Amino acid sequence: ILFILFLSFYLFTLTGNLLILLTIVSSSRLHTPMYFFLCKLSVCDIFFPSVSSPKMLFYLSGNSRAISYTGCVSQLFFHHFLGCTECFLYTVMTYDCFVAICYPLRYTVIMSHRVCAILPMGTSFFGCIQAIFLTTLTFQLPYCGPNEVDYYFCDIPVMLKLACADTSTLEIVGFISVGLMPLGCFLLILTSYSCIVFSILQIRSAEGRRHAFSTCSAHLTAILLAFMPVAVIYLQPTPNPSLNAAVQILNNLVTPMMNPLIYSL
C-alpha cells in the first residue's frame, strides 16, 4: 500500500512540474521574471524528490535495502544542494513579488534580463557551497560499523549517530549552519512581505488590492509548506526519528507535489 501511495505521489509530482514547465515554455505571454523563477522551482521540484524517492520505492518493493558509501554521500549532497537552492529561490521569488508591488513603475528596470539570469545562478551557487560544507562536515568522521542507516535515506542527523567519534562539536556547527540559512531567508521573506502588505493596503482600488493579494498568496502558501518541515526536522533540541521520517516524507514528496497545484490556481 505504501509503495502504491508513494509511487502515486512521486509520479504526480513529476507530471505536475513537467506540465508547469511545458506551459511556461510554450506560452510567450508567460515569459516574465516571475514565471522564469517558477520554471527553476519546477526543475528543483522534479529533482529534489528524485534524490531519495526511487531508492525508497525500491526498498518498499521488497528489494535490497543496502546503499553504497558513494550513494549515501550523493544522497546527502544533492538533498541539501537542491533544498538550499529552493530556499534561496523562494527568497528571490519574494524579492520579485516585492519589486512588482512596491515599485511597479521601475519593475522592468530592476528585474532586467541580466538580473533574472544572475539571481537563479546565485541560488544554485550558494546552494552548492552549503551542500559541499555540510557533506564534508558529515563524512570527514570515521564510520566503524555496523553501518545501518535507521532511516529511508542518508541525512545528517542519522549519519552522525553512526560515527564512532565525538560529534558534539559537529552537531553544533551543523545545527548553526542548517538553522541560520533558512532562518536568514525566512527573515528576508518576512521583511519583504511586511513591505508588500503595507503597499497593498495603500492601494485605493478594492480590485487592485484583491489582485495584489492573490498574486502573493500562492507564493506565501508555498513558502510555508517548504519552511515548516525544515524547522521541525533540523531545529528540534532532541530529534524524534519517527516524527522526522514522517515530516521528511512530507518535505520530499508532498511539498513538491503541491507546488504545481498552488501556482496553477
Calpha distance 208→94 (Å, rounded)? 19
Return the C-alpha cell found at 240.
524524534
Calpha distance 90→123 (Å, rounded)? 9
Ramachandran region of residue 145, left (φ > 0), alpha (ψ -120 to 50) or beta? left
pLDDT value of residue 30: 86
pLDDT value of residue 255: 85
- Is the pTM here over 0.85, yes or no? yes
**First-to-final CA distance of the chain:** 30
pLDDT value of residue 2: 78
pLDDT value of residue 115: 92
- The contacts of residue 215 (CB under 8 Å, 6+ apart) are 97, 100, 101
Return the C-alpha cell found at 158.
542519522
pLDDT value of residue 43: 93
Look at residues 235, 229, 251, 239 and name the one whose alpha carbon lies nearest to residue 175.
235
pLDDT value of residue 234: 66
pLDDT value of residue 91: 93
Produce one character per residue of 12-47: b if its CB has 16 or more CB atoms within 10 Å, e if not: bbbebbeebbebbeeeeeeebbbbbbbbbbbbbbbe
Q: Give residue for cell 500500500.
A: 1
Return contacts of 203-208, CB within 8 angstroms, 24+ apart. Answer: none
* Domains of the chain, residue spans: 2-264
pLDDT value of residue 55: 83
User: pLDDT digit of tens for each residue in the chain (265 aa)?
Assistant: 778 888 898 999 999 999 999 999 998 888 888 889 999 999 999 999 998 888 888 888 877 677 788 888 898 899 889 989 999 999 999 999 899 888 888 999 999 999 999 999 999 999 999 999 989 988 888 887 667 776 667 878 778 888 888 778 777 777 777 778 888 888 999 899 888 888 888 877 777 777 777 777 888 888 888 888 877 776 666 667 677 777 777 788 888 888 888 887 6
The fold for domain 2-264 equals Rhopdopsin 7-helix transmembrane proteins (1.20.1070)
- The contacts of residue 254 (CB under 8 Å, 6+ apart) are 9, 225
